[in-house]
Structure 1
Amino acid sequence: MKAYIFPGQGAQFTGIGLDLYEKFPEAQKLFERANEILEFSITDIMFEGSAEDLKQTKVTQPAIFLHSAIMSQMLGDNFKPDMVAGHSLGEISALVANKTLEFEPALKLVYKRALAMQHACELQPSTMAAVLGMEDHLVEAICAEVDGTVVAANYNCPGQLVISGDLAAVEKACELLKERGAKRAMLLPVGGAFHSPLMEPARKELAEAIEATTFNNPICPIYQNVSTFGVTDPSEIKKNLVFQLTAPVKWTQSVQNMIADGATEFIEVGPGKVLQGLVRKIDRSAQTSSAEI
């Protein structure tokens, strides 16, 4: 069974999407429509902008979404997913791929999400940190000891967990984690505490937009970050997508459940190969590849 997976923030690169724009007239139309919806030329930034330009959350999230969602549409008859999943932002790309969401409303949700997250980041100094070489339950226990807000945010693969919270609490947690045996505990260059309770203002903003958006019956299950199991009910998909902003990305658990449900091949759609690497660390026997157009 084929599982298609979609990357999240951090996978962007200068020139992202240009190959699709130049190769497919239909892709060109979708990119131009995106410029109209967003009311600025995101294609100029994607194709010609610097790495610094692409780092802005309001640019990064729609840029990665556009690359992934448009690529999945350009795969044509070759695109026959048995299941899909996306890492954080990538979950919305996956929902376009399995026909739960139409392209235009999905892009509007992505942009709303980006702006809401940016706004939440500005309310309080906050950050994230990568923790390597320590079991998940130990990281969770150490975070629970720290005053302030610091929680597990991304369960990426065994031995790689990202924590998130207010700046002082994350810094203190990093100190304790290194003292108690973590190979590394390092702050990440991100704008705020994604997938933590500090994203509550963004969750509220996004919830209204999601409720107002039509979600269709999908053509295959999506393994969502919050639930980790295959979901096909549109109302449940909506609920999980709302809570995703304040809940951890359970990528390890999602991949394990996809494999348990019969996934034999994981195909990454969008920029980069980060998710393929994580899948192989979760299960060395898993077959992975990038989508080819």
Structure 2
Amino acid sequence: MTEGNFVDYVKVHVNSGKGGQGSTHLRREKFVAKGGPDGGDGGRGGHVIIKGNKNLWTLVHYKFKKHFKAGHGEHGSRQRSTGADGADVYLEVPLGTVVRDTESNAILFEITEDGEEKILAKGGLGGRGNWHFKSATNQTPRYAQPGLPGEEKQLTLELKVLADVGLVGFPNAGKSTLLSVITSAKPKIADYEFTTLKPNLGIVEYRDFQSFVMADIPGIIEGAAEGKGLGHYFLRHIERNATLLFLIPADSKDVSKEYQILLDELRRYNPELLDKQRLVAISKADMLDDELINEMDSLMKEDFKDVEYIFISSVAQKGIQELKDKLWVMLNN
């Protein structure tokens, strides 16, 4: 999937159908002089419905089509015939889609299950026909109810990537390189920050034909939780990952400080993110000899008491299988 086709944020305009009008028909038949009212009810207006689809991965199908309008209900007719309901309109979305009211930014609901349906805009009720209003004192009512109008809404659809493992780190930490080595994904890789602007997904093949999904989340910068850069767009994808793999390059000035900054950004965005399982990978370890690795290891033991860490090199394929083993154990615990 190319980066341009990964759409994770769209605004849509939805209109439900209005209800059909009730009929004011009076029964007229041969040999029936005063048949009385027999006008039927109007049909319901069509709903606009959102539906989860596990086979979709992005919101790219709403990149250019953003207006959705359901059908109107048919009017009632004679012999108490109810008008047909308006046609419903379905918006299929990938699992992990959050629906917000665009004006208030309030979350309305989330779609997390395949086939799950929620009504975005309810169709208007059909009006009642004149036969509902007959009485002993008004035996031939010549009026009926009009149908109710539909709803019109401006909504925002946000996708939070569903993955088993999410890669977390600063820009240029080697996340895309690791994903390209450990999976069959082909993310854009270059020697400058923010090469990755959209999450990339890849399937990690494990032993005995088993697998798990890994997501390369665009790099976090300090202040991302306040929306600095594209912080909110990046951080929301981390919420859907079962395990977080922190990637810190071996040539970092202070590995422990980088890890704490990343943790602090997650904490400020959503404290619940810290409840997820975490593993730290020191990337670009091919730059270090055994003596430097042992020296770093002894220094890190104090600062990384609450989390496991591992030295890896995507280029030299160092520690990759051990990394897969650790992640597999964490996912299945």
TM-score by length of 1: 0.23
Q: Which has the higher strand share?
A: 2
Q: Which has the higher helix share?
A: 1
Q: Which has the higher contact order (CA 8 A, sep 6+)?
A: 1
TM-score by length of 2: 0.21
